[in-house]
Chains A and B, each alone.
Chain A
Amino acid sequence: MDISVLQTLASRNLWGAITPEILLGGLALVLLVIELLFPKEHGRIVPVATLVGLVTILGGVLFNAPSAYLNQETFNGLLLHTHGGQIMRIFFLLAAIMVCVIARVSLAKQSLPRVEFYHIVLVVTAAMMLLAQSNHLVLFFVALETVTIGLYILVSYYRTSLTLEAGLKYLVMGALSSSLMLFGIVLLYGVAGNPALPAHTAQSMHYGQLAAFLAANPHNFLASIGIVLVLAGVAFKIGAFPFQIWVPDVYQGAPTPVTAFLAVSSKAVGFTALLALAGTVFASYAWLVAPVLTFFAATTLLFGNFAALTQHNVKRLIGLSGVSHAGFLLLGVAAVSRAPMAVGAIYFYLFAYLLASFAVFGVMAHVAGANDADQELDHYAGLAKDRPFLALVLALGLGSLAGIPPLVGFMGKLFIFIAAFQAGLYGLLAIAVIGVVVSIYYYFGWIKAAFFETWGKSVDAPTHPERTPVDFVTGFALSALALAVVVLGFYQGPLGAWLSAR
Chain B
Amino acid sequence: MSTLPFDPLLVAIFAPLAVALAIACGLPKRFSVKLAYVGFGLPLLLALHVWFYYGTAAQTHGYAFLTSYSTGLDNLGIGLKLGLNGISLPLFVLAGIVGFAAGLYAIQSGAERLKIYLMLLLVMQGGLMGVFASVDIFFFYFFHELALIPTFIMVGIWGGRDRNYAAMKLTIYLTLGAMLSLIGLIALYVKSGAHSFDLIELRRVIAAQPLEATVQHNIFGLLALGFGILVSIWPLHTWAPLGYGAAPSSAAMLHAGVLKKFGLYGLIQIALPLLPAGLIHWSHPLAWLAVVGNVLVIGFVTIAQRDLKQMVGYSSVMHMGYAFLGIAAGSTLGVGGVVLLMVAHGLSVALMFLLTTSVYQRTHTFALDEMGGLAQKAPVLSALFVAATFAGIGLPGFANFWGELTIFVALWKFSPLITILAVAGVVISAVYGLRAAARVFFGPATPEFAKIAAEHPVSDLRWSERLPALILLAALMFIGFWPKSLSTALDATLSPAPAAQVGAVK
- Per-residue interface assignment for chain A, residues 467 to 502, with 1 indicating a CB less than 8 Å from any chain B CB and 0 otherwise: 000000000000000000000001111111100111
B321 at the interface (CB under 8 A from A): no
Q: Contacts A433-B180, A440-B171, A448-B156 hold; do A404 and B186 have CB atoms under 8 A apart?
A: no
Please name all residues of chain A whose beta carbon is closer than 8 Å to the beta carbon of B146 when the two chains form the complex: 405-406
Q: Which of B75, B138, B153, B156 contacts A501 (CB 8 A)?
A: B75
B187 touches A502 (CB 8 A): no
Please name all residues of chain A whose beta carbon is closer than 8 Å to the beta carbon of B145 when the two chains form the complex: 404-406, 410
Q: Which of A404, A433, A492 contacts B72 (CB 8 A)?
A: A492
**Please, how many angstroms separate the alpha-carbon atoms of A79 and B439 in the complex?**
81
A418 at the interface (CB under 8 A from B): yes
B149 touches A429 (CB 8 A): no
Q: Is the interface of A mostly helix, strand, loop or mixed?
A: helix
**Please, how many angstroms separate the alpha-carbon atoms of A433 and B187 in the complex?**
14
Q: Give the residues from 402 to 450 in chain A that come closer than 8 angstroms, CB to CB, to chain B.
A: 404-406, 410, 414-415, 417-418, 421-422, 429, 433, 436-437, 440-441, 444, 448
A-B contact count (CB 8 A): 88
B176 at the interface (CB under 8 A from A): yes
Please name all residues of chain B whose beta carbon is closer than 8 Å to the beta carbon of A495 when the two chains form the complex: 72
B179 at the interface (CB under 8 A from A): yes
CB distance from B230 to the nearest CB of A (A): 14
- Interface band, chain B: 20 to 34
A399 at the interface (CB under 8 A from B): yes
CB distance from A194 to the nearest CB of B (A): 43
Q: Contacts A441-B168, A497-B74, A501-B75 hold; do A451 and B157 have CB atoms under 8 A apart?
A: yes
B182 at the interface (CB under 8 A from A): yes
Please name all residues of chain A whose beta carbon is closer than 8 Å to the beta carbon of B149 when the two chains form the complex: 399, 404-405
- Per-residue interface assignment for chain B, residues 155 to 190, with 1 indicating a CB less than 8 Å from any chain A CB and 0 otherwise: 011000001100110011001100110110011011
**Please, how many angstroms separate the alpha-carbon atoms of A421 and B190 in the complex?**
7
B288 at the interface (CB under 8 A from A): no
B113 at the interface (CB under 8 A from A): yes
CB distance from B161 to the nearest CB of A (A): 12
A502 touches B183 (CB 8 A): no
Q: Contacts A492-B72, A500-B75 hold; do A433 and B156 have CB atoms under 8 A apart?
A: no
Q: Contacts A405-B145, A436-B175, A448-B164 hold; do A417 and B157 have CB atoms under 8 A apart?
A: no
Please name all residues of chain A whose beta carbon is closer than 8 Å to the beta carbon of B180 when the two chains form the complex: 433
- Per-residue interface assignment for chain B, residues 14 to 34, with 1 indicating a CB less than 8 Å from any chain A CB and 0 otherwise: 000000000000000000000
**Please, how many angstroms separate the alpha-carbon atoms of A441 and B164 in the complex?**
12
**Please, how many angstroms separate the alpha-carbon atoms of A500 and B79 in the complex?**
14
Please name all residues of chain A whose beta carbon is closer than 8 Å to the beta carbon of B172 when the two chains form the complex: 437, 440-441
**Please, how many angstroms separate the alpha-carbon atoms of A415 and B76 in the complex?**
9
**Please, how many angstroms separate the alpha-carbon atoms of A422 and B75 in the complex?**
15
CB distance from A174 to the nearest CB of B (A): 36
A221 at the interface (CB under 8 A from B): no
Q: Contacts A404-B149, A405-B146, A417-B182 hold; do A452 and B71 have CB atoms under 8 A apart?
A: no
A341 at the interface (CB under 8 A from B): yes
Chain B residue at smallest Cβ distance from A435: B179
CB distance from B10 to the nearest CB of A (A): 13
**Please, how many angstroms separate the alpha-carbon atoms of A501 and B74 in the complex?**
10
A455 at the interface (CB under 8 A from B): yes
**Please, how many angstroms separate the alpha-carbon atoms of A415 and B73 in the complex?**
11
B37 at the interface (CB under 8 A from A): no
**Please, how many angstroms separate the alpha-carbon atoms of A341 and B153 in the complex?**
35
Q: What are the nearest 9 A-B pairs in CB distance? A: A496-B72, A405-B145, A493-B72, A492-B72, A500-B75, A452-B156, A496-B73, A433-B179, A437-B176
Sample (19) of A-B pairs whose CB atoms are under 8 Å apart: A404-B145, A405-B149, A406-B142, A406-B145, A406-B146, A410-B145, A414-B138, A415-B76, A421-B183, A421-B187, A433-B176, A436-B175, A440-B175, A441-B172, A444-B171, A448-B167, A496-B73, A496-B75, A502-B75
Q: Which A residues fall within an 8 A CB radius of B?
A: 341, 399, 404-406, 410, 414-415, 417-418, 421-422, 429, 433, 436-437, 440-441, 444, 448, 451-452, 455, 490-497, 500-502
Known A-B contacts: A417-B186, A421-B190, A437-B175. Give 16 more (CB < 8 A). Answer: A405-B142, A406-B145, A406-B146, A417-B183, A422-B190, A436-B179, A437-B179, A451-B157, A452-B163, A490-B71, A491-B71, A491-B72, A492-B71, A494-B72, A500-B76, A501-B75
